[in-house]
A and B are shown apart, each in its own frame.
Chain A
Amino acid sequence: MKKNRFLSLACAAGILSLITACGSGASQSSTPNQVAYHASYPDFSSSEELYGKADLVVRAVVQPGTEVRELSSGGTDSDDPRLNPQAGVDSGEQPAEDPVVVTVRKIKITKLHKGVGKVGDTIEVKELGGNLGGTEYVSDESTPLVPGKPYLLFLTTFPDQPASVITPVQGQYPLDGAGEPQSLPDNKLKMTTKNLEQLTRAASQ
């Protein structure tokens, strides 16, 4: 009996130790070869707002292959003090450029809902993080696009860099077998083909 009780207590102690380790996040700590990214994004409260803020809305299939790149900010020469925090300030006082590591994938457009492009075009889309030079850059928020799978994507485009999904959670809808968009688990915004067609019509009027 004492042996059974000892085993029970030992099991409980083991489980509690595991829980403590999970709670402290010890297993997620950065190592010398790991860099953690934590990005903050807008939260769109309606499909109209999401559609309105996106530059490019497409159905597309993710192509095989990825490329990891280091991207610099590019900055701006604008005189607008809101857009350019360095306007009128000695640039020598700023920290050195610290590039952001991204993984770039190609997507092939199968239907254009908003923006500039056409069916068959291939464009680049970037996601935070990737493995570069032996260092793993990990982004907690990213849900990587899956090669070969079709998506409805809400994108922001840039003249100098690949496009970005407008937010990792609200900007991508995997399509089911019937071609209907499916929200990611943390996305409260539902989207249907009918809803999207209404948004597209409203925007063109």
Chain B
Amino acid sequence: MRSMRPARSLVITSLATACTIALFAAPAHGTYWSGGMPRADFSIRTYSYNPTWQGPLDNGIVNWNGTPTPAAIGKLSSSPNTLTATSYSDTWYGLFTSSGPRDSSRTFTIKLNSRTISRDATNFSNMVTRVFSHELGHGLSMADNPSTSSSSIMKYTAWNTLVKPTTYDIAEVNRIY
């Protein structure tokens, strides 16, 4: 009986480890992106585009700031983080670039491709807001295409209709920060 204890202990330990992996490892890999900002409150440099873009872009920030999360995105003329919206000769809608280690020195740039967005938009305002919100979601450490059946602005679908962070997105940001 006594000789069984180490074996039983190993079995229990293995089971506990397996449960931990099942509970935590898969969701973290599916939604978390280490390229995001270390804090959910960050700034982006003040931008100025024509009214067709400016309002929908601002809505992207407003939508995140209105969520019950620590997300607090401010516009600041001296921010090192920038947004550029113009025509790029490439196939992406948006490109989030992060530089530096995940600490206060990290900076990012967001590029929005007017060529692909104007080509595929059926509701232009919605699509601009959505693509910008999606890229800001990367700033909030969320990865693309989370493996969930829930609705999410981080998925590559419904670019013209889903414009606000969903219940799933809000829960993920609260989990990460």
Q: How far does the Cβ of A105 sit from chain B's closest Cβ, in whole Å?
A: 15
Q: How far does the Cβ of A119 sit from chain B's closest Cβ, in whole Å?
A: 24
Question: Does the CB pair B85–A16 fall under 8 Å?
Answer: no
Question: Does the CB pair B13–A94 fall under 8 Å?
Answer: no
User: How many Cβ-Cβ contacts under 8 Å join chain A to chain B?
Assistant: 202
A158 and B89 contact, Cβ closer than 8 Å, known pairs A40-B156, A83-B115: yes
Query: Is the C-beta of A11 less than 8 angstroms from some C-beta in chain B?
Result: yes
**Which residue of the partner chain, among B9, B33, B120, B131, contacts A38 with CB atoms under 8 Å?**
B33
Query: Is the C-beta of B50 less than 8 angstroms from some C-beta in chain A?
Result: yes
Bound together, the chains give a CA A4 to CA B11 distance in angstroms of 12
Query: Is the C-beta of A133 less than 8 angstroms from some C-beta in chain B?
Result: no
- Please give me the residue from chain B that is nearest to A157 by CB atom: B89
Query: Is the C-beta of A103 less than 8 angstroms from some C-beta in chain B?
Result: no
Query: Is the C-beta of A204 less than 8 angstroms from some C-beta in chain B?
Result: no
- Please give me the residue from chain A that is nearest to B154 by CB atom: A40
What's the tally of chain B residues with a CB closer than 8 Å to chain A? 70
Question: Does the CB pair A11–B13 fall under 8 Å?
Answer: yes
Q: How far does the Cβ of A138 sit from chain B's closest Cβ, in whole Å?
A: 9
Question: Does the CB pair B144–A12 fall under 8 Å?
Answer: no
- Please give me the residue from chain A that is nearest to B16 by CB atom: A12
Q: How far does the Cβ of A146 sit from chain B's closest Cβ, in whole Å?
A: 20
- Please give me the residue from chain B that is nearest to A37 by CB atom: B97
Query: Is the C-beta of A8 less than 8 angstroms from some C-beta in chain B?
Result: yes
Query: Is the C-beta of A134 less than 8 angstroms from some C-beta in chain B?
Result: no
Contacts of A100 in B (CB 8 A): 88, 90, 95, 111
Beyond known contacts A1-B2, A161-B89: 7 more, CB 8 A cutoff:
A38-B96, A39-B92, A74-B87, A85-B50, A89-B49, A90-B48, A100-B95
- Chain A contact residues, CB within 8 Å of chain B: 1, 4-5, 8-9, 11-12, 15-16, 19, 22-26, 28-32, 35-43, 71, 73-76, 78, 80-90, 93-95, 98, 100, 126, 128, 140-141, 156, 158, 160-161, 164-167, 171, 186
